[in-house]
Structure 1
Amino acid sequence: MLNHVMIGSNDIEKSKKFYNAALGVLGAGEPMAHVNDTGQTRLFYMHNGSTFSVSEPINGKPAEPSNGFTLGFVCDSPEQIQEFHDVAVANGGTTCEDPPGLREGSMGPMYLCYFTDPDGHKICGIHRPG
């Protein structure tokens, strides 16, 4: 259903350092960088058929996180959930919600972690066992 997700950044180099480390845990490599005609830099991380992009806002206004927005990344194991969280926090992210771990609910068991990136965007790691 989705082709890509793009979020804004107020410091593209800080975002690149953060996402290189965090998405490296999931197997993503260096992003493709693109500078558009009006001078904004965009980073494109492509992995397993998905594209995640970080961009300086085209309208020149500050990037702001959206209330209610969460970006979820698939993880391969409970251990990768923990590593994804720990690497993100070690590289400028901030823990939010409960600590990484198993959650039981009406959608079945799943391992989750939540953190915000340096611009305040809420990120989730998710692994559904079995």
Structure 2
Amino acid sequence: MFNHIVLGSNDIERSKSFYTAVLGTLGYAGEPLRNVGPGGQTRLFFRHKDGTLGITEPIDGEPATCANGGTIGFRCASAEEVRQFHDVAIAHGGTSIEDPPGLRDGGALGQMHLAYVRDPDGNKLCAIWRLPA
């Protein structure tokens, strides 16, 4: 459904370290593509067959802020991958939020393993694996 998602960062090198490690738990390998935009902002692009995650210094020159109510969800292949995503995020400057990682009853959505973290800039990330119906 999505082609790309872009998040702002106030420290592009810190974000590179964080996302390289965290996305590595999902099978993303290698270095992100580094690009400098026309206004001099450094941008990182983590490309995968399913789309692209961009991390950028804000184009308007203002500080990057996180979206209130916004969450970026990453599909995981297992409950263990959800836990690994969470633990690697914490080890690389993220913050665990909401309930501890684990099994949740999503009612009509079914059961799923979830973990929520905030990246070093405050963006809310979710690792999710839905149990087969």
CA distance in 2, matches of 1:81, 1:9: 24
Aligned to 1:62: 63
Task: Structure 1 unaligned segments of length 5 or more: list them.
Answer: none
Aligned to 2:32: 31
Aligned to 1:103: 104
Deviation at 1:37, TM superposition (A): 1.3
Deviation sequence 1:39-78 (CA, Å, 0-9, x none): 1011100113211110000000000001000000000000
Question: What TM-score comes out, normalization by structure 2 length?
Answer: 0.95
Aligned to 1:22: 22
Judge conservation of contact 1:27–1:47 (CA < 8 Å) in 2: no
Question: Aligned pair 1:2/2:6, yes or no?
Answer: no
CA RMSD in angstroms, aligned pairs only: 0.7
Q: In terms of mean alpha carbon deviation, does 61-70 or 24-33 score higher?
A: 24-33
Q: 4+ residue runs of structure 1 moved beyond 6 angstroms?
A: none
Aligned to 1:91: 92
Deviation at 1:119, TM superposition (A): 0.2
CA distance in 1, matches of 2:67, 2:118: 12
State the one-letter code of the partner of 2:74.
Answer: F
Q: In terms of mean alpha carbon deviation, does 55-64 or 102-111 score higher?
A: 102-111
Aligned to 1:116: 118
Question: What TM-score comes out, normalization by structure 1 length?
Answer: 0.98
Between the aligned residues of both structures, percent identity stands at: 55
